A and B are shown apart, each in its own frame.
Chain A
Amino acid sequence: MAILPISLGVVPFGVIAGGAMIESGIPPQHAIAMTIVSFTGAAQLAAIDLIDQTAPVAVIVLTAVIINLRFTMYSASMAPYFRRFGALTKWLGAYVLTDEAYAISITRFRDGELSSHSQKWFYFGAAIPFWATWHLSAALGVLLGTSVLSDVSLAFAVPLTFIALLIPDLDDRPTMLAALISGVASILLGFIPFNLGFVLAVLIGITAGTAVEQRSTTQSEQPVATDTGCETT
């Protein structure tokens, strides 16, 4: 299970988030409850930073929500698989949707080996332990402060996991090109605040991939199967 190393990789991040809450003067039990209510990593750190600066409430909320715009893309990407699930799975599944749970699940869903029922349990099997690890590490930060942070290079396990998930997914030219362009764009647009560079980079990558695919389709004049993985249940 890829969720174990990736969960350990976010422990330092969770500890920092928890510790930052305490340093702002929020009582421990409230800090933990707020972490559970929002369940958002980067946006929580940004919010707490703005709360420290006594920024206007609307600005703080808007900043956090904009940072989380990427979840809309994950929601769209997961939606075809979630269609067959019941309401409870959809509502609970949406709450535990993270970069990590998304990355691990979608790459597995797309290879088409899991039945719909297995997909559901694979998703929760990844998302819920990740959720638990995040809150345990945030609680650790709340209790001990950020000083317990030992080895930051452990956080490198997160991008390494993403590499392990990405490489097998690059199975045709349009996908490779889309990923390459998105990666380069994410570096070049990284200076745009509120994670918007990331969202923009992904959209540019998707546009490039779609354009290349359409061109190759019209050139060969053969219909290309649109593979969302839905057909292979």
Chain B
Amino acid sequence: MMTEYELRTIWMIFIAIGIGTYGLRLSFILVVGRMEDLPPQFSGMLRFIPATVLAALIAPTLAVLSVDPGVGLDVAYTRVVACLVAVGIAWRTENVLATICGGLVVLWGVQAVV
């Protein structure tokens, strides 16, 4: 589809998005960099960010909740199997490459069989 906006307007949009997004990325890095000490509560909360972010990035690739027209859970079973194997490999080896390769091989294997 061709847009009705002029190139100049589209540039304005992307520059504004760029500045806004950059501000979000820079926000705490700049503010915390100027603080003398970190409040302990802040540090206590920060420690959960990596695990919660990773879990929230992974989970929606396995199942999607649809609410319209009715509530239903669409589970990608092939991916779930591949993920379980990947979790097992990650648990045993703590090796990133082995985890990815194992997961992809299982994904393609199951896709070929089913």
Count the B residues whose beta carbon is within 8 Å of the partner chain — how many?
77
Q: Which of chain B's residues 5-58 have a Cβ closer than 8 Å to chain A?
A: 5, 7, 9-18, 20-22, 24-33, 38, 40, 42-58
Q: Is residue A145 within 8 Å, beta carbon to beta carbon, of the partner chain?
A: no
Point out the residue from B2, B4, B53 that lies within 8 Å of A74, measured CB to CB: B53
Determine the chain B residues whose CB is within 8 A of the CB of A106 once the complex forms.
49-50
Interface of chain B, helix or strand or loop or mixed? helix
Q: Is the CB of A79 within 8 A of B31?
A: yes
Q: Is the CB of B26 within 8 A of A182?
A: no
Q: Is the CB of A206 within 8 A of B9?
A: no
Q: Number of residue pairs across A and B with beta carbons under 8 Å?
A: 291
Q: What 3 A-B pairs come out closest when comparing CB atoms?
A: A205-B52, A79-B32, A183-B55
A contacts, CB < 8 Å to B? 2, 5, 23-27, 30, 34, 37-40, 43-44, 47, 51-52, 54, 57, 60-61, 64-65, 68-80, 82-83, 85, 90-91, 93-95, 97, 99, 102-103, 106-107, 110, 153-154, 156-157, 159-170, 174-176, 178-188, 190-191, 198, 201-202, 205-206, 209-210, 213, 226-228, 230
Ordered by A's residue number, 12 sampled pairs between the chains whose C-beta atoms are within 8 Å are A27-B7, A77-B49, A79-B33, A82-B29, A93-B29, A102-B53, A164-B86, A165-B96, A187-B65, A188-B65, A226-B40, A226-B43
B contacts, CB < 8 Å to A? 1-5, 7, 9-18, 20-22, 24-33, 38, 40, 42-68, 73, 79, 82-83, 86-87, 90-91, 94-97, 99-100, 103-104, 107-108, 111
